[in-house]
Amino acid sequence: MRIPLNIVTARRISQIFFVLLTLWLCAVATLGATFWRLSGWQVNFILQLDPLTALGTLLATRTWYAQLLWAIPVIALTAFLGRVFCGFACPLGALNQAVGWLARRVTAKIPGARAAALRARLADNRHSPWQAAKYYVLAFLLASACFGSLQTGLLDPLPLLFRSLNMTVAPVVDAGFQALFLKPRHYASAWLLFTVFAAILGLNFLRPRFFCRYVCPLGALFGLLNRFAPWRMGKRDDAAHGECGNCTLCDTYCEGACSPSGALVASECLMCMNCLDACPKERMTFAGRASAGGEEHLPEPTRRGFLFAALTGALSAPLWTIGGLAETGKNPLLIRPPGSLDEARFLSRCLRCGQCMRVCPTNVIQPALTEAGLEGLWTPVLNYRLGTSGCQVQCVACGNVCPTAAIRPLTLDEKLGQGKFAAKGPVRLGTAFFDRSRCLPWAFERPCLVCQELCPVSPKAIYTRTIFEPIRFGQADFVAAQGSRLSLAGLPRPTVNLGSGDYYLRPAGLSAMASPEAGLRRINAAIWAEQGQTLTLDAAPDAKQGWKLSPGSVVEVVVRLQKPYVDAARCIGCGVCEHECPIAGLRGVRVSFENESRSGPGRMLI
């Protein structure tokens, strides 16, 4: 029995498979050992197939990272069979094709509508010299990579799709039923990420697979790689199939706009195979010879544009260096995930695929909008306010899902500086600094110690010094004492709970005495009334400690404060203190990149 399976159906099945696989790999990228969690899924599989990533990092780092070896079979396949990846595998290409198809579906049952739609479709799918634009994009990106600035991920469809799914679609879709995330995820500049994604999909209304034809640098690379493809689409011209009637049905359905009816532009053929199916005379074939209608390779002689694009790309990297953002002018808030390489090497590898941001259990890894400058657009940066905690000490997820090792895959031993990494010490992301004008104990004489309590480093990197400070409007006149109960007069209405255990009473004017704790009595309870105040102390005041129990003597309320300090030699910059600081806006303790491990010597402490 013959299976009624034609190549277009097989192509559609393959495309649906890759789209579903992409969605699945995005869905499972949450830490966990079950089947629907990260477990052992090769979440980077599709990213690893990408020859543009391999080539870009190759140019930028002069190495071919082992994780990117999957690009080799894709390159070989393209060299021999043409852009099969675009036609059969690329998930963004499949989405573009689907949108383009939906946009051109004929629904109205109006006479002549179908013919008009076909005419419009033929016009949309006519070859355009502007299809050369994507080769300029490619030239720009590769030239920039040559000088150490890897920007391919901005327009490379695979990182672009993963970035868009990870940071816009997944959080929005999941907000309804919370299968992926316990708490709604936040991603800075998600609006811009989605604008780009939506624009790419929307442009299919203008032309089918608009992005693939005019913009896609990966497609352009494939278009160059298939230069010598021995097998390709083409028209045959032999007696058995008769003359070509020039019905242009092949052109009408051509996704790549490579004009199969005439001189076929081989680099533009997306291997959608629609012409094969559309030709009423079965004249279109996939064979080892040139099309009978003639054949060209590239859209236009484009040397000048190509060179111009390459030159600007080559200039862009040195120009970014002039900005100094990777070195002396680095943004103090540019804190990279643990294991990140030094900024220059980081930017030669990061694809902005958003895998680290997707997998981060605390959502602190965010796409940079301005933090890393234009060159570092959408690269990962830690934002301790947006996440659900700081960078978890016992977590190495980001580095272990990074497809290019811009964030190195750390072991826990290396991250924590234990075992054979003991001499190197832990991986530091930065250092916490107290802002004494905003921290509650420092600025507002309010007791607070959240940062110190939650510092995960052992021994703690935040320590305290206890002091007793007179509170504002805390003086009163002594009236009478009854054991540990004191009656006072003239104490202004307190703005704090004096009986909370943090407040003490002492005779005024004692602070000059030798001991800072002289005469202190803890206030266990306080009753305030305009005409008189009653304080219950933890013990009766003692005349020997400076108390004058005569009416009219002045007492003062002091607060016991534990003022926090950072031990910079122990701080790892995990940001838990910053995240937990109760000052909701500009935090009272903030981490900046100083002393980060990745910057090498001279970072702050010696």
Partner 1 sequence: MSAPEHEATPPELTPQELSRRDFLKRAAGASAIALTGVGLAAALLDANGPPASDPVGAATSAKGLGDYSLPELRGKPGRMAIVRGVVPANSQAAQPDRKAMLERALAALGGLGAFIKPGDRVLLKVNAAFATSPLLGATTHPDLVAAVTSLCLAAGAASVALTDNPVHSPESCFALTGISEAAAKSGAKVILPGENLFVPVSVPPSGNIGGRLIRDWPTLAGPFKGVTKVIALSPVKDHRRAGASMTLKNFYGLLGGRRNVFHQDINGIIAELALLVRPTLCVLDGVTVMLTNGPTGGSLSDLKAMHVMAVTTDPVAADSFGMELLGRAVTEAPYIKLAETAGAGNADYKALNPQFLDLGA
Partner 2 sequence: MAARERTISTAQRNASLAVLALVCAIAAYLLVRQPQLNPAVLVSLRAPAPKAGVAAQPGGSVAAAALATPETPGTSAAGGAKQATLASLLPDAVPGVKALAAAESFNPTTLSDKIDGKAELYLAAGFAAMACRSYQAGLGRVELYLYRMKSPDAAFAAFSGQRRQGATQSPLAKNGYLTENALFLTSGSDYLEVIADRTGQRPALEALAKAVLAGLAPAREAKAEAQSGTKAEAKSGAQPAADLSPPDLFPVAGLKADSLRLAVADAFGCQGLTSVYTAEYDASFGGAAALLSRRKSPAEAKAQLELYRRYLTDNGFAAQAVPGAPSGAVVLTLEGIGVEVLFTRGPLLAGVHEAPDLTTALKLATALDMALKAKGLDK
Upper half-sphere CA count for residue 541 (Cβ side, 13 Å): 24
- Is 583 within 8 Å of 468 (Cβ atoms)? no
Residue 288 or 516: the one with the smaller Cβ distance to partner 1 is 288
Interface stretch with partner 1, choices 101-109, 172-180, 289-297, 512-520 (CB under 8 A): 289-297
Q: In this structure, how many other beta carbons lie within 10 angstroms of the beta carbon of residue 304?
A: 8
When asked if residue 315 is in the footprint of partner 1 (CB under 8 A), the reply is: no
When asked if residue 306 is in the footprint of partner 1 (CB under 8 A), the reply is: no
CB of 417 to partner 2, least distance (A): 6
Helices 217-225 & 71-81, crossing angle to 10 degrees?
A: 60
When asked if residue 294 is in the footprint of partner 1 (CB under 8 A), the reply is: yes
Q: Which entry of partner 1, partner 2, none binds 492, CB below 5 to 8 A by partner kind?
A: none
Measured distance CA(539)–CA(483) in Å, rounded: 8
When asked if residue 570 is in the footprint of partner 1 (CB under 8 A), the reply is: no
Q: In this structure, how many other beta carbons lie within 10 angstroms of the beta carbon of residue 120?
A: 13
Interacting residues with partner 2 (CB under 8 A): 2-11, 13-14, 17, 21, 31-33, 35, 37-42, 45, 88, 253, 274, 276-278, 280, 282, 286, 359, 361, 394-397, 399-401, 409, 411-413, 416-419, 422-426, 457-459, 461, 569-570, 572
When asked if residue 290 is in the footprint of partner 1 (CB under 8 A), the reply is: yes
One-letter identity of residue 367: P
Q: Cis link prior to 459 (omega < 30° from 0)?
A: yes
Measured distance CA(118)–CA(114) in Å, rounded: 6
Q: Name the pairing type of β-strands 554-566 and 295-296.
A: unpaired
Measured distance CA(235)–CA(492) in Å, rounded: 97
Residue 552 DSSP one-character state: T
Applying CB under 8 A, the site for partner 1 has a residue count of 48
Measured distance CA(598)–CA(591) in Å, rounded: 15
When asked if residue 146 is in the footprint of partner 1 (CB under 8 A), the reply is: no
Measured distance CA(501)–CA(605) in Å, rounded: 38
- What string of H, E and C letters represents the secondary structure of 243-275? CCCCCCHHHHCCCCCCCCCCCEEHHHCCCCCHH
CB of 156 to partner 1, least distance (A): 17
Of 50, 156, 296, 596, the one binding partner 1 (CB under 8 A) is 296
When asked if residue 229 is in the footprint of partner 1 (CB under 8 A), the reply is: yes
Upper half-sphere CA count for residue 126 (Cβ side, 13 Å): 6
Residue 72 or 586: the one with the smaller Cβ distance to partner 1 is 72
Residue 460 or 603: the one with the smaller Cβ distance to partner 1 is 603
When asked if residue 324 is in the footprint of partner 1 (CB under 8 A), the reply is: no
Question: Residues near 232 by Cβ (< 8 Å), separated by ≥ 6?
Answer: 82, 226, 264, 266, 269, 286, 287, 290, 291, 295
CB of 179 to partner 2, least distance (A): 18
Q: Which entry of partner 2, partner 1, none binds 412, CB below 5 to 8 A by partner kind?
A: partner 2
When asked if residue 297 is in the footprint of partner 1 (CB under 8 A), the reply is: yes
When asked if residue 423 is in the footprint of partner 1 (CB under 8 A), the reply is: no
Helices 71-81 & 51-61, crossing angle to 10 degrees?
A: 120
Upper half-sphere CA count for residue 86 (Cβ side, 13 Å): 29
Measured distance CA(91)–CA(184) in Å, rounded: 26
Helix (H) or strand (E) run with residue 319 in it: helix 303-323
Measured distance CA(9)–CA(17) in Å, rounded: 12
Residue 522 or 603: the one with the smaller Cβ distance to partner 1 is 603
Residue 19 or 81: the one with the smaller Cβ distance to partner 1 is 81
Interface of this chain with partner 1, residues 32 to 61, rule: CB under 8 A: 51, 54, 58, 61
Residue 241 or 603: the one with the smaller Cβ distance to partner 1 is 603
One-letter identity of residue 10: A
CB of 349 to partner 2, least distance (A): 19
State the binding string over 382-411 for partner 1 (x if CB under 8 A, else -).
-----------------------x--xx--
When asked if residue 568 is in the footprint of partner 1 (CB under 8 A), the reply is: no
CB of 237 to partner 2, least distance (A): 18
CB of 606 to partner 1, least distance (A): 5
Beta bridge partners of 566: 462
Residue 31 or 215: the one with the smaller Cβ distance to partner 2 is 31
State the binding string over 334-373 for partner 1 (x if CB under 8 A, else -).
-------xx-xx---x------------------------
Q: Which of 353, 328, 349 is nearest to 340 (CA)?
A: 349
Residues that bind partner 1 (CB under 8 A): 51, 54, 58, 61-66, 69, 71-72, 75-76, 79-80, 225, 227-230, 288-290, 294-298, 301, 341-342, 344-345, 349, 405, 408-409, 414, 597-598, 600-606
